[in-house]
Structure 1
Amino acid sequence: MSHPPFAVTVDLVLMTVADSVLSVLMQRRGEEPYVGALALPGGFVGIEETLDDAARRVLVGKAGVAAQDSAWLEQLYTFGDPQRDPRMRTVSVAYFALLPHAVLERAVTSKADLALRPVTEPGEPLAFDHAAIITTAYERLRGKLDYAPLAFSLLPDLFTLRDLQTLHQAITGTVLNKPAFRRRMLDTGWLEATGQRERDTSFRPAELYRHPS
Structure 2
Amino acid sequence: MRECFDDALVAAVGAACAVDAFRARAEAERAELIELARRTAMTLPDALVDPRVQAHVDREEAAMRALIAELATGMRVSESLAGVLVEESRMLVNELPETLTALREAAIAPEHARVIIRAALDLPVEVRSRFDDAAAALARECTPPQLRRRLRSLRERLHPESLTDRHQRCAARRGVWLDGELDGMATLHLHLPAPDTHGAFDRIDR
Name the TM tier (shorter chain).
Answer: under 0.3
Q: Which has the higher helix share?
A: 2
> What is the TM-score normalised by the length of structure 2?
0.27
Give the structure with higher Rg (CA).
2
Q: Which of structures 1 and 2 has the larger relative contact order (alpha carbons within 8 angstroms, sep 6+)?
A: 1
Higher strand share: 1
